[in-house]
């Protein structure tokens, strides 16, 4: 980070502007810092002036030229910027996708024979990774209800080595007590990995709140424009060194073009998140007043599961939330989504454009029931919205029209 003054005391948006812009990455030795953003360094081979330099290059340090697989200033600038906004991080590794980042974090801390404890509302591909790759490697996974205060304690065993957390949970958006879960993990010698894609470091200071590894899909808010795939994992010193070593063994590398796009997205992230959060909350409130809607699952909305944890621990939200239709059918829900005009139908989220996808959590839960015990069994089918940068009144009008058409 190249900003002047005590960056820890600066606001998030200010830090985002200066982060990663080291003068040596945005200029030449004669004119350091001469351009605002680091150029795209397309490089596999890094050339050395002589043999002594080639030998020195083997030091394997961050920010040292060596060979393209260890990146060049474009990727280093992005990693450096992400580290600058993650309190407590010694460094950040970049991966070709968010799923790769999750797999890499898990394979950094787990070995055959270990048991992984995973929240029941984990991102579906994270569950699939546990049932597939980890199981094949002899790593067992046990799922627990993140909202049950004794859930993690009861799932613990002699062989448990790590816990995979997510806040809020995927699709159903429950916000667990992350500091308490991380404290218990630490007490029992487990590594706590948090998928922090929803809030990101501006909305939830994952490492400062107790997580050992903070994972993000940069595909979502950091990219922010639905045109790149990338992931990251940040940690304090000892674990960061292990993440880095494992990533180098796998040979993970991200393209400099994508790193430059992600860095561009990062500069406006605070602004976009702020807008999305306000729009999402207005839309969530409006949906909560509609008779066709049984529940609105939006961490920022009072009454949503875990809202008190969000209000206590988070400094921001985003535009992603779900709602459940009252007594609806899967077909009626699909008709509702088809009737929307301003919402795209497609996976991912966190882009500038609004999206809608169907939510059917029932087949994805093994440690907690869906619909939950405190809701009517018929209130089962949901919709997940990713609120973009459109005018919220237009989005509300679109939702109203689609709900009316559902009859």
Ligand X SMILES: *Cc1c(COP(=O)(O)O)cnc(C)c1O
What distance in Å separates the CA atoms of residue 240 and residue 232, rounded to the nearest whole number?
A: 12
Query: Which of 88, 98, 200, 351 touches ligand X (CB under 6 A)?
Result: 98
Residue with Cβ nearer ligand X (259 or 402): 259
What distance in Å separates the CA atoms of residue 215 and residue 205, rounded to the nearest whole number?
A: 12
Which 8-state DSSP code applies to residue 277? H
Query: Which of 141, 217, 277, 357 touches ligand X (CB under 6 A)?
Result: 217
Is residue 386 part of the contact set for ligand X (CB under 6 A)? Answer: no
- Least separation in angstroms between residue 121's CB and ligand X is 10
What distance in Å separates the CA atoms of residue 143 and residue 321, rounded to the nearest whole number?
A: 23
Q: Which helix (H) or strand (E) holds 118?
A: strand 115-119
Q: How far is CA 369 from CA 120, 151, 361, 364, in A?
A: 10, 14, 9, 10
Q: Find the catalytic residue in 220, 333, 380, 384.
A: 220
Is residue 196 part of the contact set for ligand X (CB under 6 A)? Answer: no
Residue ranges in 111-130 that form contacts with ligand X under rule CB under 6 A: 123
Pairing assessment for the beta strands 140-144 and 115-119 based on DSSP bridges: parallel
Bridge partner list, 194: 165, 214
Here's the x/- map for ligand X, 65-84, by CB under 6 A: it reads as --------------------
- Least separation in angstroms between residue 100's CB and ligand X is 7
Q: Find the catalytic residue in 22, 123, 145, 384.
A: 123
Active site residue 62: no
Residue ranges in 342-361 that form contacts with ligand X under rule CB under 6 A: none
Residue with Cβ nearer ligand X (12 or 128): 128
- Least separation in angstroms between residue 342's CB and ligand X is 21
- Least separation in angstroms between residue 99's CB and ligand X is 4
Nearest to 385 by CA among 287, 306, 304: 287
Residue with Cβ nearer ligand X (294 or 320): 320
Active site residue 220: yes
Active site residue 177: no
Looking at 298-341, which runs of residues are DSSP E strands? 320-325
Query: Which of 170, 172, 226, 386 touches ligand X (CB under 6 A)?
Result: 170
What distance in Å separates the CA atoms of residue 362 and residue 257, rounded to the nearest whole number?
A: 39
Q: Find the catalytic residue in 80, 145, 177, 195.
A: 195
Active site residue 69: yes
Which 8-state DSSP code applies to residue 134? I
Is residue 97 part of the contact set for ligand X (CB under 6 A)? Answer: yes
- Side by side, the strands of the sheet bearing 355-359 are 293-297, 320-325, 382-386, 355-359, 344-345
Query: Which of 74, 219, 277, 322 touches ligand X (CB under 6 A)?
Result: 219
What distance in Å separates the CA atoms of residue 366 and residue 373, rounded to the nearest whole number?
A: 14
Is residue 232 part of the contact set for ligand X (CB under 6 A)? Answer: no
Whether cis (ω within 30° of 0) applies to the bond prior to 154 is no
Residues that bind ligand X (CB under 6 A): 97-99, 123, 170, 195, 197, 217, 219-220, 229, 231
């Amino acid at each position: 980070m190249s900003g002047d003054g005590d960056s820890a005391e600066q606001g998030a948006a200010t830090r985002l502007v200066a982060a990663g812009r080291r003068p040596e990455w945005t200029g030449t030795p004669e004119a350091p810092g001469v351009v605002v953003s680091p150029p795209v360094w397309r490089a596999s081979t890094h050339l050395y002036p002589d043999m002594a330099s080639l030998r020195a290059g083997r030091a394997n340090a961050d920010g040292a030229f060596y060979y393209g697989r260890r990146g060049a200033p474009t990727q280093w600038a992005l990693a450096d910027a992400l580290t600058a906004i993650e309190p407590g991080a010694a460094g950040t590794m970049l991966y070709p996708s968010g799923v790769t980042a999750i797999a890499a974090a898990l394979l950094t801390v787990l070995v055959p024979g270990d048991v992984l404890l995973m929240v029941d509302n984990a991102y579906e591909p994270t569950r699939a990774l546990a049932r597939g790759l980890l199981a094949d490697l002899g790593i067992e996974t046990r799922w627990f209800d993140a909202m049950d205060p004794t859930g993690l304690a009861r799932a613990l065993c002699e062989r448990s080595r790590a816990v995979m957390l997510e806040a809020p949970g995927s699709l159903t958006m429950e916000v667990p007590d992350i500091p308490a879960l991380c404290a218990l993990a630490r007490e029992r010698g487990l590594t706590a990995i948090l998928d922090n894609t929803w809030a990101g470091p501006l909305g939830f200071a994952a490492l400062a709140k107790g997580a050992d590894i903070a994972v993000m899909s940069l595909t979502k808010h950091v990219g922010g424009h639905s045109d790149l795939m990338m992931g990251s994992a940040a940690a304090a010193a000892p674990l960061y060194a292990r993440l880095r070593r494992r990533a180098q063994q796998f040979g993970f590398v991200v393209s400099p073009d994508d790193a430059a796009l992600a860095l561009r997205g990062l500069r406006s992230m605070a602004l976009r998140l702020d807008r999305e959060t306000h729009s999402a909350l207005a839309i969530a409130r409006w949906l909560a007043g509609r008779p066709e809607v049984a529940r609105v699952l939006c961490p920022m909305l009072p009454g949503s599961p875990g809202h008190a944890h969000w209000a206590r621990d988070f400094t921001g939200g985003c535009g992603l939330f779900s709602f459940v239709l009252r007594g609806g059918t899967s077909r009626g829900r699909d008709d509702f989504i088809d009737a929307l005009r301003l919402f795209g139908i497609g996976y991912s989220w966190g882009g500038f454009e609004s999206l809608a996808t169907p939510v059917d959590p029932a087949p994805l839960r093994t440690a907690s029931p869906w619909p939950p015990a405190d809701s009517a069994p018929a209130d089962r089918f949901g919709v997940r919205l990713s609120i973009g940068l459109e005018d919220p009144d237009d989005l509300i009008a679109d939702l109203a029209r689609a709900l009316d058409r559902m009859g």
